[in-house]
Structure 1
Amino acid sequence: MMRSLRALERTASTSRVLNLLAVEAESAHRPEYAQAPLFRNRTLNTAIVLKHRLRNDDIYLFDEARPTATKIIIPFDRKDLGLGGQSVFVGQRGWADLVIEACNASGDMSRDLATLRMIDVLPSLDPFLLREHLRRHGVLVANCYFALSTADYENMQGFVTLEISRLIELAYRGAGGVGRAHAARLVEALLSTDVDERLEPLRDTLVMEGESFKEGVFSWKGFLYYKWMLTKLWPQLTTVGQEIGRLIVTGNKDAETAKFVDDSRRRLQGGVLVERSAILRTLKVYDDAFEDLIENGRPTAFRDFLLRAPEMFLSLGERVGVISHISSYWRYRFPHDEPLTVDVEEAIDILMDFEAGLSVPLGV
């Protein structure tokens, strides 16, 4: 726990970990941090929330089998994560009472517990999916709670610089161009929590003002985040799809079970392709709007697209979260250079878990 909590501060991905302690350190001075918190209980609002792959010694805590769960970690000492923390899984037996006790709560926790339930149904903690999901359920939370993790922020910068280089040139066209260092600062500003004067050239280019510009930047960051994630995910999924076909299933199995396993493999491989096509169709809407801005100088169309974009985050974020889970869990269970062999019962569990994610739409 000590080493892992410290590591979360620096290396965790945005889609897996929501470090509310880091959010407090970064944004507590902002009025909106206290005005529209994720959780009303201060202890819970400085916890670490993560999507956790359940291990064998975790499963007994639940009445129903599930591959992953939302884990709440409340540090013993907020200034020293090395001391560890108290953890509770959302959905484990008696979890609500455990959260209330861990938070030393004396007031009404119903809103916070309801928010945790909403978070638990999501396949990931992707901030763009999370924000829209909560908003659809009437929970309005300040944007500072939906920042990118440090690791993702750093890894995305090169990708985003390349992705929007033509827009940066357009924004500075009247100023004799822009140097590499200036472009890097602009990208840094775009990916950060604050929307400030560093983005003024882009605001002028997009002809946006005030809150609409803030919303537009958040949406834009969301699409760039998904595109960046998918550059890593597509090659992984291709490999996983091939390995699913080569998986050797051992143990006693009758003809009906063998047929189920083979059919499930084919459905899963086909289902991943369907999800991929749906994701690419959504991203093409963004690409077309962006291309229209660059090639035809139509800021209004791109601006309108950005303001409508959050509606797409629910389906896009769900799909990306599901296929990311398939890729990451498969590699966790079957590391590179290890035999692709599994007992029939575990094979059925894995395939059914993957299929359920692909076939069950997120309720709104």
Structure 2
Amino acid sequence: MSHTRRRVSIDRLAVEQLSRMLQAGSSRVFNCAALHRNVLAAGGAPGQFLFKTGDLNNAIFMKEVYPDDDMREASTNPVGTKIFFSYNQKADLEGGKSIFLNDRNLRTALQFHAGMSASEASEEAQADLKVLEIIDELPSVDPFLFRERAEAEGLDPHPGYFEITEAEYGRIRDHVMRQFQPIVESAFDDVTEANKAVFLKNLVNKLWDATDMEALGPVMDAMGISEDTAGDTFYAWKGIIYYDYIFSRRQEIWKDYANWLNTESRPLDSMPVMAQMKMNERLMEWRKLYQKRWKAVHLMLSEYRDSYDLLFRDHKSPEPFIKFLKNSRKRFYQLGDSMSRVEHTIEVWRTYVGDSSMRFLRFDPLYELGGTSVRILSGR
């Protein structure tokens, strides 16, 4: 975790903004405070808490675009993570402070707002900084990605911190493993039939963990991956498979939202001409940004699927897939950012229209929703 920010950036976060984000419950927000209360209610013990420093469990984490060039240049990722400390233990949004996790003043802020030990030798502080690093390195705080990364790092907090059932986690894991198997088969084509099933299962599990690089040597050689980048590459590939899985299951919802934007996003009440012009401008920008994000996700996932099928289904050139793997880390973050923004926008929209079949809004809430959605989709 890089702490290279040149100036202090502990900001007051607008209550309305945070309230809307939490109400929407998107993968751009990890409401540790609410989940921690659930863990306590379920009988979770201190050894099962996500953070060793107690007050960190009452924080809220949000994925946001860095506000200036200094922070963007200091980070290897296009999206940052902001931690919000409430002024009270309930984290009920009456007020608080926030700071990006790559701010050079983070450690001081953690000591002041959360009571983290100032000692560099503190094992509890180092453990908590590791969890913060995991959160910061994720492009979105999807429960599957967070849990998988935590397990890979040897962490075993209470399952209540991850809002995903064992059945769903298993389904996604099995889907990822099936995508992994052809690359293992192609790299170990001299395996005898007698031990093939067990051998492949063992190697696919190693590819999932991405820790035994010696065993995965033939896979790295086949795909032109260096040992230095193998861990990040395999993890990013895993993340892309996950986003592809989610994308395929969210299409109807994304289409429904697009249909609403095109046919039902007009105010119920009459407006003066100037107000109508303002609304039309906002709607046009809103629609263009949504279309841009959706198209970007579609193109990146198509690039992955086409290169994968070309190699493993059609048994043709491996070059497109190798090229994709080399860019996988960048694609992982781009996909996570765009998909979480689309999902966040849709969830915010639902807080306005509810479940009613009559989904028209009056001018003021529609204009407000448009402004919020434009900010989310554009990254402003």
Shorter-chain TM-score bucket reads 0.5 to 0.7
Residue ranges of structure 2 left out of the alignment (5+ in a row):
1-24, 37-49, 64-80, 100-107, 121-127
Take 1:194 and 1:16, find their aligned partners in 2: how far apart are those partners?
A: 29
Take 1:327 and 1:221, find their aligned partners in 2: how far apart are those partners?
A: 25
Residue type of the alignment partner of 1:159:
H
Q: Give the match's secondary structure for 1:274.
A: helix
Q: How does 1:219-258 map to 2 (within 5 A)?
A: 219-244=236-261, 245-247=263-265, 249-251=267-269, 253-258=271-276
Are the counterparts in 2 of residues 219 and 307 from structure 1 also a CA contact under 8 Å? Answer: no
CA shift for structure 1 position 105: 3.8
Are the counterparts in 2 of residues 249 and 343 from structure 1 also a CA contact under 8 Å? Answer: yes
Identity %: 17
Query: For 2:361, which of 338, 342, 347 is the aligned residue?
Result: 342
Q: How does 1:159-170 map to 2 (within 5 A)?
A: 159-164=175-180, 166-167=182-183, 169-170=185-186
Q: Which residue of 2 aligns with 1:268?
A: 286
Match status 1:318 vs 2:329: no
Q: Which residue of 1 aligns with 2:169?
A: 153
CA shift for structure 1 position 320: 1.6
CA 1:345–1:232 in 2, change beyond 3 Å: closer, same or farther?
Answer: same
Are the counterparts in 2 of residues 190 and 221 from structure 1 also a CA contact under 8 Å? Answer: no
Query: For 1:103, which of 102, 111, 114 is the aligned residue?
Result: 114
CA 1:150–1:350 in 2, change beyond 3 Å: closer, same or farther?
Answer: closer
Residue type of the alignment partner of 2:118:
G
CA shift for structure 1 position 201: 7.2
Are the counterparts in 2 of residues 123 and 318 from structure 1 also a CA contact under 8 Å? Answer: yes
Q: How does 1:48-67 map to 2 (within 5 A)?
A: 49-51=60-62
Q: Which residue of 1 aligns with 2:370?
A: 351
Residue ranges of structure 1 left out of the alignment (5+ in a row):
1-11, 23-37, 53-68, 75-84, 131-140
Q: Which residue of 2 aligns with 1:87?
A: 91
Residue type of the alignment partner of 2:373:
F
CA 1:235–1:358 in 2, change beyond 3 Å: closer, same or farther?
Answer: same
Q: How does 1:298-317 map to 2 (within 5 A)?
A: 302-303=321-322, 305-317=324-336
What is the TM-score normalised by the length of structure 2? 0.56
Deviations 1:156-198 (A, max 9, x none): 1343355445445435543356988987776665555856788
Are the counterparts in 1 of residues 269 and 362 from structure 2 also a CA contact under 8 Å? Answer: yes
Q: Give the match's secondary structure for 1:175.
A: coil
Count how many residue pairs are aligned between Structure 1 and Structure 2. Answer: 292
After TM superposition, the structure 1 stretch with the greater mean CA deviation from structure 2, 178-187 or 246-255, is: 178-187
Q: Give the match's secondary structure for 2:231.
A: helix
CA shift for structure 1 position 238: 0.6
What is the TM-score normalised by the length of structure 1? 0.58
Are the counterparts in 1 of residues 139 and 337 from structure 2 also a CA contact under 8 Å? Answer: yes
CA shift for structure 1 position 293: 3.8
